[in-house]
Amino acid sequence: MPTAGKIAGTVREGATPVAACTVRLYDRTTGALISSQTTGTYGEFLFASLDETQTENFFVVALDPAGGTQYNAMIYDLLTPVIDLSRPVVPDGFGGSLFGVGGVEYGGYHLAVLADSPVAYWQLNDTAGSVLDSGPNALHGAIQGTVGRTGTPLRKMGGSFVFTRAGRVTVPHNALLNLGAGAAWSVEYWVRAGACPTWANIVSKFTDPSSGNCEYRNTRHGNANVFGDWEYTGGPNNYGILAAAAASDTNYHVVYVRDTDTARLYMNGILAASKAVGGYTTRLGTRPLEIGGNAEYPGSYDFGGQISDVALYNYALSAAQVTAHYSCGAL
């Protein structure tokens, strides 16, 4: 029997995610209980190893969060499916499929990201306090300067931070953020650029503030292009630089992927640029990761526009994974 199918979603009370809620998966034909689990911090759940050819033979319910034994009568209002069952099954990048439990596709993007095991994932939808990492390593950040927290969504069921070239998000250094220590890695985010008269950092990790060297950096230059680059030791900077056209005031899903031999830049699920990069060692350092700016050059390299859903991976996302993420999130 095929076992590559998945059902993922979130449990919410109104707009608020419900953590530690019991969620059960049943066989629709026999009523038999297949599996049970509790939701995570953000109300998320994931049932895997299912028969992807039987998408109509499952249903999911959640127990009353108050702890009662009665099923919540509004369960289908509380579940956020990944993929509409009325649409074709979508590959998940691992030879499997993602399919949901309801009739509307919304809110599945963050679950698709988490299912692909990011090192860190900042959704940038926090309305107060720390900038939380939704990934497994709790690499939380903080706002430096002025950053708006209630930007319009760049993807389905998302939020965004608004940058006005007056602030940034800073995440303290952690060895896990040294993506270049491995042979392959990926940087992913959603962006809507406004006025950026010069180089503007979207996501960056610098190694040496005096020289401007970086381990990896994704930038906007002027009002024309989005760039992805990395720098290596023993040679000229920006060896892995790639550029793709990006109009102002337009939502983009951007993924910069580097493997042993090639750097790739994807825009809205499509490969926009690539370059051979074999045989080079990435610079490493202990500077913080920054989103939307650079503390060493405040104002000069700060970003203007909106950013959301910054995710880092210590491996190269496949083209299928990139496409699946974009498909889950595109408005």
pLDDT in tens, 184-239: 889 999 999 887 766 788 888 877 655 556 667 777 765 566 777 655 554 555 55
Could you tell me what percent of the chain has a pLDDT over 90? 24
- Tokens representing residue 5 in the block: 């199918």
Query: CATH 2.60.120.200 in the chain, residues?
Result: 120-329
Q: What is the mean pLDDT of the chain?
A: 75
Please check whether residue 272 is in contact with residue 265, taking contact to mean a CB–CB distance below 8 angstroms.
yes
- Using CB atoms within 10 A of its CB, is residue 60 exposed (0-12), middle (13-18) or buried (19+)? buried
pLDDT digits (tens, 9 = 90+) for 275-315: 887 766 667 778 889 999 876 676 677 888 999 999 999 99
Place of tokens 């010069």: 198
Which residues of the chain does CATH 2.60.40.10 include?
A: 5-105
Tokens at residue 247, please? 């109009």
Cα 269 to Cα 272: distance, rounded to the nearest angstrom: 9
Mean pLDDT (whole number) for 152-168: 90
Task: Give 77: exposed, middle or buried? Use CB within 10 Å, 0-12, 13-18, 19+.
Answer: exposed
Q: Of 295, 326, 291, which Cα lies nearest the Cα of 305?
A: 291
The pLDDT score that the predictor gives to residue 147 is 96
| Whole-number CA gyration radius for the chain | 20
Give me the CATH code for the 120-329 domain, please.
2.60.120.200
**Owner of token pair 């640029």:** 273
Amino acid occupying residue 57: N
pLDDT level of residue 106 (50, 70, 90 thresholds): very low
Buried b (16+ CB within 10 A) or exposed e, 226-255: bbbbbbbeeeeeeebbbbbebeeeebbbbb
Which phi and psi angles does 142 have, rounded to 5°? -145, 155
The pLDDT of residue 15 is 55
- Please enumerate in sequence order all residues whose Cβ is within 8 A of that of 110, keeping only pairs 6 or more positions apart, or say none: 42, 44, 121, 123, 134, 157, 158, 309
Q: What sign for the dihedral angle of Cα 181, 184, 89, 310? A: positive
Lowest mean pLDDT among 169-173, 199-203, 267-271: 199-203
What pLDDT does residue 311 have? 97
Contact 154, 161 (CB under 8 A): no
Q: Which residue is associated with the tokens 């940038």?
A: 124
CATH class of 5-105: mainly beta
**Whole-structure pTM value:** 0.69
